[in-house]
Amino acid sequence: MDIKIHAINHRDISYPPGGILLWIIIILELVTFGLGIGGLVYYGNLELELFHTSRLMLNAPLGMLNTLVLLVSGYFMADTVAKLKSWELESSKRSLLLTMLGGLVFVGLKSWEYYEKLSSDIEMADNMFFTFYWLLTGFHLAHVLVGLVILLVIWINMKSKSMAVELADVESGAAFWHMCDLIWLLLFPSLYLVF
């Protein structure tokens, strides 16, 4: 097989996986979502009863299932990187496929949840809780879709016999994917459990 795994050996221990620019982007994304969650909590404290009754309209078991799906998907992403570092390319590709499968399941479950809301005439303009719900979960879903595109490009490069697999690219994809996991781990309790 002609596939080569390129690892950057000249990085020191303080250099973050995926590179500094990616981590600046990740920090900005986390701050953006943090501000959104802060707004949710602020307005939730102003209208506790409204936020509580609105939260009860969410499908918490489905949200929990989505949380488990993303956590398992995140495990397989970490396994992808670990296997690649151990020069186990075929095993790494399988783990990456399982990561993407988890992402697709998340998208399917989230789409079903959106369908449930729209079928019940629950829209963004209904109240402040649902404004935050649609904005935060929609923005997160967009990040998951971008993450899936990134992972697909990495998988195509891994599958192509003429391409070299850059460990730094895989680490970048993993960092972005784990950011999506982390954001959901903040959104799930904030939207589905707190109020």
Residue 11 is predicted with a pLDDT of: 57
For the stretch 40-61, what's the b/e string if a residue is b when 16 or more beta carbons lie within 10 angstroms of its beta carbon?
beebbeeeeeebeebbeebeee
Split at pLDDT 50, 70, 90, the class of 121 is very high
Split at pLDDT 50, 70, 90, the class of 9 is very low
Mean pLDDT of 147-172: 84
Secondary structure in 3-state letters for the chain? CCCEEECCCCCCCCCCCCCHHHHHHHHHHHHHHHHHHHHHHHHHHHCHHHHHHHHCCCCHHHHHHHHHHHHHHHHHHHHHHHHHHCCCHHHHHHHHHHHHHHHHHHHHHHHHHHHHHHHCCCCCCCCHHHHHHHHHHHHHHHHHHHHHHHHHHHHHHHHCCCCEEEHHHHHHHHHHHHHHHHHHHHHHHHHHHCC
This prediction's pTM: 0.88
Alpha carbons within 13 angstroms on the beta-carbon side of residue 182 total 13
More confident residue, 165 or 43: 43
Task: Pull the structure tokens for residue 180.
Answer: 């999506």
Split at pLDDT 50, 70, 90, the class of 13 is low
Residues in CB range of 184: below 8 A, 6 or more apart: 66, 67, 70, 140
pLDDT at position 113 over 80: yes
Split at pLDDT 50, 70, 90, the class of 10 is very low
Which one, of 102, 50, 52, 51, lies nearest residue 74 by Cα? 102
Q: What is the pLDDT of residues 19-55, one digit of tens each?
A: 788 899 999 999 999 999 999 999 999 999 999 999 9
Split at pLDDT 50, 70, 90, the class of 6 is low
* Domains of the chain by start residue, with CATH: 20-194 (1.20.120.80)
Task: Pull the structure tokens for residue 183.
Answer: 């954001």
Which one, of 53, 55, 77, lies nearest residue 144 by Cα? 77
pLDDT at position 164 over 80: no
